[in-house]
Amino acid sequence: MSMLLDEASALTHAGSLLSSNDEIVASYDLEVSNSPAVGYRGLGLSNGICNAAIAAFNPDFASRSRVHVINGMGVTLGDSIIGLSALYAISAQFPQLRFTIYRPRHAPHYVRRLYELAAPLFGDIVDLPIKLDALPQHELRVDIGNHLFWPEFTTRAMIDFFIDAMGMRAQEISSSYKRNLWMQQLTVPEPRLEQGEYVLLCPLASTPVRSIPASVHSTIVDALWQRFRLPVAGVGAIDHPQYVDISARSVDIADFIGFIKHARHLVAPDTAAIHIAAGFNIPTTAFFTTIAPQVRVRDYPYCKAVRLDVPALDGMHASSRQSDVQAIEDAYYALKIDANIFDFA
């Protein structure tokens, strides 16, 4: 039996956790529910469960009909979209496969809704915790828990990371299966705007250091209007005569996906919107501040990446520190934002 983890180690463990009564637990659920992360050990390779962060494995998918994915694919929208793309790439080669995905119970509602929409394409969605012995030992079980703390997550293209975490070799998968095209099979509403066609601005990421600062929102709207001569839609208020706030019409993730699906052009920072747009081949201008574009959009042919010069913050995934946010704002001010920035070479 593996050793008990202290609280800090439990929350950053590269994999799922196992309780004293043999329940598989997501450390995220402990953190957001303010439950003490004590008395847990790493799930590890218990009962033949696979975890690529601990030991490489190469499953025979051709002989399988069901794969159990434990604690996949994260609790953010972007990670979930790309993680599901990894499953889509595998099932494209082995169409007999279905997946059971065990998810953190306390994941944000909009992320839970994505899995509900995707379930008909992939298989079953089950909330954690679950008893270890409830997982059939004769079926393939893969732990991708707490992937944010796996060493390779910050250095590899995210889609390659997830494919490898499932036991396949990412270099053997065609780039066409790394573009989130499975999203085209989702049933989402068609947006209705009185103005007809529109371009879409989604400036907010999950953290300020990757978001587009509010002080340049109207500048971007103006540049988009000059380039496309179409109204600019977005969620939230922006003071510009050509801007349309769609907050009241985008109350569910399905609505949000629908707005991206039908946009003429998308502008966003490093956030889930660019991954949704890739799934529908929507031309996109994506701004990157702290994360290298090739880690996120390497396989997206309709995405133009604009890298801002903020070397002191390279590799930072999240921050709301005033000095960091100011450095991001300064970098946007130094960037020439006009109609030309939205042209593709």
276 near 179, Cβ under 8 Å? Answer: no
181-235, pLDDT tens digit by residue? 999 999 999 998 887 899 999 999 989 999 999 999 999 999 999 999 999 999 9
Encoded tokens for 131 = 């008893």
Looking at the chain, the domain(s) classified CATH 3.40.50.2000 span: 199-342
253 near 77, Cβ under 8 Å? Answer: yes
Look at 29 and 345; give whichever has higher pLDDT. Answer: 29
Positive or negative, the Cα torsion across 34, 37, 42, 43? negative
C-alpha span between 15 and 70 (Å, rounded): 9
86-145, pLDDT tens digit by residue? 999 999 999 999 999 999 999 999 999 999 999 999 999 999 999 999 999 999 999 999
Encoded tokens for 75 = 């609790």
C-alpha span between 274 and 278 (Å, rounded): 6
218 near 212, Cβ under 8 Å? Answer: no
Cα-to-chain-centroid distance, residue 38? 29
- List residues bridging with 50 in a β-sheet: 142
In terms of Cβ atoms closer than 10 Å to its own Cβ (0-12, 13-18, 19+), residue 330 is middle
Say whether pLDDT at 1 is over 70.
no
Encoded tokens for 296 = 């996120």
144 near 71, Cβ under 8 Å? Answer: yes
Among 344, 253, 295, 309, smallest CA distance to 160 is for 295
- Three-state DSSP at 209 gives helix
Q: What pTM does this model have? A: 0.96
**Looking at the domain covering 199-342, what would its CATH class be?**
alpha beta
217 near 203, Cβ under 8 Å? Answer: yes
| Residue 185: DSSP 8-state | G
285-323, pLDDT tens digit by residue? 999 999 999 999 999 999 999 999 999 999 898 899 999
Encoded tokens for 344 = 């593709």
Among 182, 114, 138, 146, smallest CA distance to 28 is for 146
pLDDT for res 315: 87
The whole-chain average pLDDT of the chain stands at 96
Q: Which helix (H) or strand (E) holds 101?
A: strand 98-103
